[in-house]
Amino acid sequence: MQFQSLNIIEPILKAVKEEGYTIPTPIQVKSIPIVLKGLDLLGCAQTGTGKTAAFAIPILQLLKANKTFSKKRKIRSLIVTPTRELAIQIGESFDAYGRHTGLTSTVIFGGVNQNPQTKALRRGVDIVVATPGRLLDLMNQGFLTLRDVEIFVLDEADRMLDMGFIHDVKKMLKVLPKKRQSLFFSATLPPEIIKLASTIVHNPEKVSITPEAPTVDIIKQYVYFVDRGNKNNLLLELLKDNKIKTVLVFTRTKHRANRVVKILVRDNIKAEAIHGNKTQNARQRALKNFKAQTTRVLVATDIAARGIDVDDLEFVINYDMPNISETYVHRIGRTGRAGAKGTAISFCDAEEKAYLRDIEKLITKKVTIIDNHPFPLIDHNPVKSPRQQRGKGKPAHPSHSKPKSDENKKPRKWYRKSKT
């Protein structure tokens, strides 16, 4: 099937062709006609399936077909997403697909000076892509209103829930027009996500893309069993392969990401880190360098897992095994996108074997083990520290733990007892 078969208007078809796309992905084939009919949509699709175009293309077409004639453009479509990187890339997609439509869009997110964003809002825009915090902040300051929104999109809903944005979403829903078209997308649909969806979409059409096989089949998956202390050596060994032109490496914490970068740079490998402690400008610069392949290795934490969209990225390495099985799916989904080749490599130490078992249960397949490497796992039963022996430092089993990121921890509050 070609994009022409989806009744897309010529200005958008021209832009899609200029981007190098001719054949729509399954979620685009199923979603675009539904959205063009003006219906609400509940979509479940794994990362890397072309989900952004599945809602961006029909939104642009609907807005183009129903022009407003007010002097100042009003916000007619709002797309809310959990991370800055993802918001920026969704904004880039709207710019790309809508370049011949005459429609305007802007992206608003925190961590940067708000002046350029408020200037764009003063000029008037048709489409706003936003992260929850900055959106509510600018609303409270009076820089924008949502009363004219015709189409609302909540993207990456499960990640939104994990990151604690549920209350912000509820605040938005209170001020959005009751009469609107709503699109709800999530990579997974656990009960709490279904409950959230029921407050946003009404009598929705449902689109689900292979939820029973959450990893893209084309991605080759390998695991190396290695002692924790040898992970750096193994990473350097793998990077001797010139076929790995660029690679995205995931660590569990931002501090470890920084340490890995230092080790790589020390070995004359161009590497940068991207995580919550970095300024927005630094994060965007690192991502730009990585896309341009001037940076060979980008080391990221999970907060960036769904916000990195790099064409032709073939390699992803899990330096640390994720303790949430779904996170593994999102990480490796950064490669093998839009039918391209993809290879996911995981380093697994003795204490991470339980995580691997849960991942294999989720993806319903065994990850291929690579035994023949210079740093095989030696210590299969590492001695636990006194803190772990007391049960305080032992990692929670994935099936019993809530999704957490080191970047989302809230500081502990200490209360001084009052004297009586």
The residues pairing with 107 across neighbouring beta strands, listed in sequence order, are: 129
Question: What span, in angstroms and rounded, lies between the C-alpha atoms of 139 and 108?
Answer: 11
Phi, psi of 294 (to 5 degrees): -80, -25
pLDDT values of the chain reduced to their tens digit, one per residue, 420 residues: 788 889 999 999 999 999 888 889 889 999 999 999 999 999 987 666 788 999 999 999 999 998 766 667 899 999 999 888 889 889 999 999 999 999 999 999 988 899 999 999 999 999 999 999 999 999 999 999 999 999 999 998 888 887 788 899 999 999 999 999 999 998 878 888 899 999 999 999 999 876 444 455 678 999 999 999 999 999 999 999 999 999 999 999 889 999 999 999 999 999 999 887 777 778 888 888 998 999 999 999 886 555 567 777 899 999 999 988 878 887 888 887 656 678 999 999 999 999 999 999 888 889 999 999 999 999 877 766 554 444 444 444 433 334 444 444 444 444 444 443
Which string of DSSP letters, residue by residue, matches 231-298?
Answer: HHHHHHHHTT-TT-S-EEEE-SSHHHHHHHHHHHHHTT--EEEESTTS-HHHHHHHHHHHHTTSSSEE
Please name the CATH architecture into which domain 3-209 falls. Answer: 3-Layer(aba) Sandwich (3.40)
Where do the CATH 3.40.50.300 domains begin and end in the chain?
A: 3-209, 219-400
Where does residue 250 rank: exposed (0-12), middle (13-18), buried (19+ CB within 10 A)? buried
% helix, strand, coil for the chain, step of 5: 40, 15, 45
Residue 53 to residues 19, 59, 92, 95, Cα–Cα distance (Å): 12, 10, 11, 11
CATH topology of domain 219-400: Rossmann fold (3.40.50)
